[in-house]
Amino acid sequence: MSTTFQLDTATSRANPTPQPMKRLTVPAIKRRKFEGKTEQPLVMLTAYTARQAQLLDTHCDLLLVGDSLGQVIYGLPSSLQVTLDMMCAHGAAVVRGSYHSVVVVDMPFGAYEASPQQAFAAASRIMSETGCAAVKLEGGVAMAETIAFLVARGIPVMAHVGLTPQAVNVLGGYNARGRSQQEHEKIIADGQAVEAAGAFAVVIEGVIEPIAIALTQSLEIPTIGIGASAQCDGQVLVTEDMLGMFDRVPRFVKRYEEIAQVIGKAAEAYAEEVRARTFPGIEQTYQPK
Ligand code: KIV
Protein backbone atom coordinates (compact mmCIF):
# COMPACT_ATOMS: atom_id res chain seq x y z
CA MET A 1 0.00 0.00 0.00
CA SER A 2 1.28 3.45 -0.89
CA THR A 3 1.98 5.73 2.04
CA THR A 4 1.40 8.83 -0.08
CA PHE A 5 -2.16 9.99 0.33
CA GLN A 6 -3.95 12.62 -1.70
CA LEU A 7 -6.09 14.69 0.63
CA ASP A 8 -9.70 15.29 -0.36
CA THR A 9 -9.89 19.05 -0.72
CA ALA A 10 -13.67 18.92 -1.09
CA THR A 11 -13.96 17.99 2.56
CA SER A 12 -10.68 19.21 4.02
CA ARG A 13 -9.04 22.56 4.62
CA ALA A 14 -5.70 20.95 3.98
CA ASN A 15 -3.78 21.64 0.80
CA PRO A 16 -3.49 18.78 -1.64
CA THR A 17 -0.08 17.33 -2.30
CA PRO A 18 1.16 19.36 -5.31
CA GLN A 19 2.31 16.25 -7.07
CA PRO A 20 3.15 12.97 -5.44
CA MET A 21 6.88 12.98 -4.93
CA LYS A 22 9.06 9.99 -4.28
CA ARG A 23 9.51 9.63 -0.54
CA LEU A 24 13.00 9.42 0.90
CA THR A 25 13.84 5.98 2.24
CA VAL A 26 15.64 4.66 5.29
CA PRO A 27 18.60 3.36 3.19
CA ALA A 28 18.87 6.80 1.52
CA ILE A 29 19.06 8.44 4.97
CA LYS A 30 21.72 5.97 6.03
CA ARG A 31 23.74 6.58 2.85
CA ARG A 32 23.91 10.31 3.56
CA LYS A 33 26.82 9.44 5.85
CA PHE A 34 29.59 8.08 3.68
CA GLU A 35 33.08 7.18 4.87
CA GLY A 36 32.40 8.94 8.16
CA LYS A 37 31.21 12.20 6.57
CA THR A 38 27.77 13.72 6.03
CA GLU A 39 28.07 16.42 3.37
CA GLN A 40 24.43 17.44 3.81
CA PRO A 41 23.34 17.30 7.47
CA LEU A 42 20.06 15.52 8.11
CA VAL A 43 17.14 17.76 9.05
CA MET A 44 14.52 16.29 11.38
CA LEU A 45 11.64 17.97 13.21
CA THR A 46 8.79 16.54 15.23
CA ALA A 47 5.29 16.52 13.72
CA TYR A 48 2.07 15.31 15.31
CA THR A 49 -0.69 16.40 12.91
CA ALA A 50 -1.36 16.22 9.17
CA ARG A 51 -1.27 19.98 8.64
CA GLN A 52 1.94 20.38 10.61
CA ALA A 53 3.49 17.60 8.53
CA GLN A 54 2.45 19.37 5.32
CA LEU A 55 4.12 22.58 6.42
CA LEU A 56 7.36 20.92 7.51
CA ASP A 57 7.67 18.13 4.95
CA THR A 58 9.56 19.80 2.11
CA HIS A 59 12.09 21.34 4.51
CA CYS A 60 12.92 18.10 6.30
CA ASP A 61 14.51 14.75 5.57
CA LEU A 62 12.78 13.07 8.50
CA LEU A 63 9.63 13.81 10.47
CA LEU A 64 9.54 12.37 13.97
CA VAL A 65 6.22 11.57 15.56
CA GLY A 66 7.80 11.88 18.99
CA ASP A 67 6.26 10.73 22.23
CA SER A 68 6.90 14.32 23.29
CA LEU A 69 3.34 14.70 21.96
CA GLY A 70 2.30 13.64 25.47
CA GLN A 71 3.42 17.00 26.86
CA VAL A 72 3.07 19.10 23.70
CA ILE A 73 -0.39 17.97 22.53
CA TYR A 74 -2.01 16.29 25.53
CA GLY A 75 -0.62 18.39 28.41
CA LEU A 76 0.65 15.28 30.19
CA PRO A 77 3.40 15.62 32.81
CA SER A 78 5.87 13.42 30.92
CA SER A 79 6.06 10.97 28.01
CA LEU A 80 5.41 8.03 30.34
CA GLN A 81 1.62 8.28 29.98
CA VAL A 82 1.68 8.15 26.16
CA THR A 83 -0.08 5.13 24.65
CA LEU A 84 0.30 3.04 21.52
CA ASP A 85 -3.16 4.25 20.41
CA MET A 86 -1.95 7.88 20.54
CA MET A 87 1.22 7.09 18.57
CA CYS A 88 -0.77 5.22 15.91
CA ALA A 89 -3.35 7.99 15.48
CA HIS A 90 -0.79 10.79 15.23
CA GLY A 91 1.63 8.70 13.16
CA ALA A 92 -1.08 8.02 10.56
CA ALA A 93 -1.96 11.73 10.41
CA VAL A 94 1.68 12.68 9.80
CA VAL A 95 2.10 10.06 7.07
CA ARG A 96 -1.10 11.37 5.40
CA GLY A 97 0.24 14.91 5.53
CA SER A 98 3.67 14.20 4.06
CA TYR A 99 5.06 12.86 0.83
CA HIS A 100 8.78 13.57 0.98
CA SER A 101 10.21 12.90 4.46
CA VAL A 102 10.91 9.58 6.11
CA VAL A 103 8.35 9.38 8.93
CA VAL A 104 9.65 7.82 12.16
CA VAL A 105 7.24 7.03 15.00
CA ASP A 106 8.32 6.73 18.63
CA MET A 107 7.61 3.51 20.50
CA PRO A 108 5.86 4.58 23.72
CA PHE A 109 7.04 3.67 27.21
CA GLY A 110 5.91 0.20 28.23
CA ALA A 111 5.27 -1.02 24.68
CA TYR A 112 8.68 -2.55 23.92
CA GLU A 113 11.01 -2.94 26.90
CA ALA A 114 9.76 -6.30 28.21
CA SER A 115 10.98 -8.47 25.33
CA PRO A 116 11.87 -8.40 21.61
CA GLN A 117 8.54 -10.15 20.96
CA GLN A 118 6.60 -7.41 22.77
CA ALA A 119 8.57 -4.81 20.78
CA PHE A 120 7.78 -6.59 17.49
CA ALA A 121 4.04 -6.64 18.27
CA ALA A 122 4.06 -2.89 19.03
CA ALA A 123 6.33 -1.89 16.14
CA SER A 124 4.45 -3.95 13.56
CA ARG A 125 1.16 -2.41 14.73
CA ILE A 126 2.66 1.10 14.43
CA MET A 127 3.99 0.38 10.96
CA SER A 128 0.84 -1.23 9.60
CA GLU A 129 -1.58 1.32 11.10
CA THR A 130 0.42 4.43 10.21
CA GLY A 131 2.39 3.60 7.07
CA CYS A 132 5.53 5.05 8.69
CA ALA A 133 8.98 3.94 7.53
CA ALA A 134 10.64 3.30 10.88
CA VAL A 135 10.24 3.32 14.64
CA LYS A 136 12.38 4.94 17.30
CA LEU A 137 13.11 3.48 20.72
CA GLU A 138 15.12 4.63 23.70
CA GLY A 139 18.06 2.71 25.12
CA GLY A 140 21.48 1.42 24.13
CA VAL A 141 23.12 -1.79 25.32
CA ALA A 142 19.90 -2.86 27.07
CA MET A 143 17.90 -2.58 23.84
CA ALA A 144 20.49 -4.04 21.44
CA GLU A 145 18.90 -7.50 21.32
CA THR A 146 15.49 -5.95 20.64
CA ILE A 147 16.86 -3.72 17.87
CA ALA A 148 18.51 -6.71 16.17
CA PHE A 149 15.25 -8.70 16.48
CA LEU A 150 13.19 -5.93 14.87
CA VAL A 151 15.65 -5.15 12.07
CA ALA A 152 15.93 -8.86 11.18
CA ARG A 153 12.13 -8.88 10.80
CA GLY A 154 11.87 -5.86 8.50
CA ILE A 155 11.46 -3.01 10.96
CA PRO A 156 13.97 -0.17 10.59
CA VAL A 157 14.95 1.21 13.98
CA MET A 158 16.26 4.62 14.98
CA ALA A 159 17.86 4.41 18.41
CA HIS A 160 17.98 7.14 21.10
CA VAL A 161 20.79 7.40 23.66
CA GLY A 162 22.09 9.89 26.23
CA LEU A 163 19.25 11.70 27.95
CA THR A 164 16.40 9.26 27.40
CA PRO A 165 13.21 10.99 28.65
CA GLN A 166 11.32 7.72 29.24
CA ALA A 167 13.96 6.92 31.89
CA VAL A 168 13.43 10.23 33.71
CA ASN A 169 12.63 8.46 36.98
CA VAL A 170 15.91 6.55 36.89
CA LEU A 171 17.94 9.54 35.71
CA GLY A 172 16.34 11.87 38.29
CA GLY A 173 15.58 14.68 35.81
CA TYR A 174 16.28 16.09 32.38
CA ASN A 175 19.82 17.37 33.00
CA ALA A 176 22.64 16.86 30.50
CA ARG A 177 24.22 13.44 30.74
CA GLY A 178 27.79 12.16 30.57
CA ARG A 179 29.53 14.42 33.06
CA SER A 180 31.07 11.51 35.01
CA GLN A 181 33.64 9.23 33.40
CA GLN A 182 31.41 6.21 34.09
CA GLU A 183 28.39 7.77 32.40
CA HIS A 184 30.54 9.06 29.53
CA GLU A 185 31.74 5.50 28.85
CA LYS A 186 28.21 4.12 29.16
CA ILE A 187 26.80 6.48 26.53
CA ILE A 188 29.66 5.67 24.13
CA ALA A 189 29.00 1.94 24.69
CA ASP A 190 25.26 2.52 24.10
CA GLY A 191 25.95 4.22 20.75
CA GLN A 192 28.26 1.42 19.66
CA ALA A 193 25.77 -1.25 20.74
CA VAL A 194 22.84 0.20 18.76
CA GLU A 195 24.97 0.48 15.63
CA ALA A 196 26.17 -3.13 16.01
CA ALA A 197 22.53 -4.22 16.50
CA GLY A 198 21.50 -2.69 13.17
CA ALA A 199 19.94 0.69 13.99
CA PHE A 200 20.01 2.92 10.87
CA ALA A 201 20.58 6.14 12.85
CA VAL A 202 20.83 7.25 16.45
CA VAL A 203 19.42 10.28 18.25
CA ILE A 204 21.89 11.62 20.82
CA GLU A 205 20.05 13.79 23.32
CA GLY A 206 21.31 16.06 26.09
CA VAL A 207 24.93 15.00 26.43
CA ILE A 208 28.12 16.97 26.92
CA GLU A 209 29.45 17.87 23.49
CA PRO A 210 32.63 15.69 23.47
CA ILE A 211 30.44 12.56 23.70
CA ALA A 212 28.36 13.61 20.69
CA ILE A 213 31.50 14.39 18.71
CA ALA A 214 33.18 11.10 19.66
CA LEU A 215 30.11 9.08 18.68
CA THR A 216 29.67 11.00 15.42
CA GLN A 217 33.30 10.37 14.50
CA SER A 218 33.33 6.71 15.47
CA LEU A 219 29.93 5.47 14.24
CA GLU A 220 29.15 4.63 10.62
CA ILE A 221 25.45 5.38 11.07
CA PRO A 222 24.24 9.01 11.18
CA THR A 223 23.95 10.66 14.57
CA ILE A 224 21.09 13.10 15.05
CA GLY A 225 21.72 15.59 17.82
CA ILE A 226 19.38 17.38 20.19
CA GLY A 227 21.25 19.26 22.87
CA ALA A 228 24.37 17.50 21.61
CA SER A 229 26.64 19.14 18.96
CA ALA A 230 26.53 20.92 15.59
CA GLN A 231 29.04 18.27 14.51
CA CYS A 232 26.37 15.55 14.62
CA ASP A 233 25.28 14.24 11.22
CA GLY A 234 21.87 15.86 11.68
CA GLN A 235 19.70 17.75 14.14
CA VAL A 236 16.22 17.37 15.57
CA LEU A 237 14.08 19.72 17.65
CA VAL A 238 10.54 19.62 18.95
CA THR A 239 8.78 21.88 16.44
CA GLU A 240 6.62 23.67 19.02
CA ASP A 241 9.75 24.48 21.04
CA MET A 242 11.58 26.05 18.13
CA LEU A 243 8.42 27.92 17.09
CA GLY A 244 8.13 29.56 20.52
CA MET A 245 4.85 27.91 21.56
CA PHE A 246 5.99 27.45 25.15
CA ASP A 247 7.48 29.84 27.71
CA ARG A 248 9.78 27.21 29.20
CA VAL A 249 12.06 25.28 26.88
CA PRO A 250 15.31 23.39 27.44
CA ARG A 251 18.54 25.42 27.11
CA PHE A 252 19.45 23.64 23.86
CA VAL A 253 16.37 24.95 22.03
CA LYS A 254 16.75 27.89 19.67
CA ARG A 255 13.49 29.78 19.17
CA TYR A 256 13.07 30.57 15.48
CA GLU A 257 9.70 32.26 16.02
CA GLU A 258 7.41 33.55 18.80
CA ILE A 259 4.22 31.81 17.67
CA ALA A 260 2.58 31.93 21.12
CA GLN A 261 2.53 35.73 20.85
CA VAL A 262 1.08 35.60 17.33
CA ILE A 263 -1.73 33.29 18.52
CA GLY A 264 -2.38 35.41 21.61
CA LYS A 265 -2.68 38.59 19.50
CA ALA A 266 -5.03 36.93 17.00
CA ALA A 267 -7.26 35.57 19.79
CA GLU A 268 -7.31 39.00 21.45
CA ALA A 269 -8.36 40.71 18.19
CA TYR A 270 -11.07 38.09 17.58
CA ALA A 271 -12.42 38.44 21.13
CA GLU A 272 -12.59 42.24 20.78
CA GLU A 273 -14.49 42.00 17.49
CA VAL A 274 -16.96 39.41 18.83
CA ARG A 275 -17.66 41.58 21.87
CA ALA A 276 -18.06 44.68 19.68
CA ARG A 277 -20.30 42.73 17.24
CA THR A 278 -18.00 43.70 14.34
CA PHE A 279 -17.34 40.04 13.56
CA PRO A 280 -18.78 38.44 11.49
CA GLY A 281 -18.85 41.25 8.91
CA ILE A 282 -20.60 41.37 5.57
CA GLU A 283 -17.84 39.26 3.93
CA GLN A 284 -18.36 36.44 6.39
CA THR A 285 -22.17 36.26 6.31
CA TYR A 286 -24.62 34.78 3.79
CA GLN A 287 -27.23 37.21 2.45
CA PRO A 288 -30.37 36.23 0.52
CA LYS A 289 -29.70 36.27 -3.27
O1 KIV B 1 9.80 12.54 21.59
C2 KIV B 1 10.53 13.31 20.94
O3 KIV B 1 10.09 14.34 20.42
C4 KIV B 1 11.93 12.95 20.82
C5 KIV B 1 12.86 13.99 20.31
C6 KIV B 1 13.00 15.08 21.28
C7 KIV B 1 14.17 13.41 19.88
O8 KIV B 1 12.29 11.86 21.11
Distance 284 CA to ligand 1 centre (A): 41
Residue ranges per domain, the chain?
26-239
Whether the pLDDT of residue 44 is over 60: the answer is yes
Per annotation, catalytic residue among 138, 195, 205, 240:
205
Any ligand 1 atom below 6 A from CB of 241: no
Q: What is the mean pLDDT of the segment spanning 126-142?
A: 98
Q: How many residues does the chain have?
A: 289
- Which residue has the CA at smallest separation from atom 2 of ligand 1? 66
Ligand 1: nearest atom to the Cα of 205:
7
Dihedral of alpha carbons 256, 261, 263, 265, sign? negative
Question: Which H, E and C letters describe 54-99, residue by residue?
Answer: HHHHCCCCEEEECCCHHHHCCCCCCHHHCCHHHHHHHHHHHHHCCC
Cβ(74)–Cβ(45) below 8 Å = no
Instruction: Report H helices in 106-238.
Output: 116-130, 144-152, 168-171, 181-197, 209-218
Model confidence at 12, pLDDT cuts 50, 70, 90, reads low
pLDDT tens profile 194-224 = 999 999 999 999 999 999 999 999 999 999 9
pLDDT at residue 271 in the model = 98
pLDDT for 5 equals 47
Residue 86 predicted with pLDDT over 80: yes
Ligand 1: centre distance to CA 165 (Å) = 8
CATH 3.40.50.11900 fits 26-239, yes or no: no
State whether the beta carbon of 147 lies less than 6 angstroms from ligand 1. no
> How confident is the model over 87-125, as pLDDT tens digits?
999 999 999 999 999 999 999 999 999 999 999 999 999
One-letter amino acid for residue 65 of the chain: V
pLDDT at 21: 62
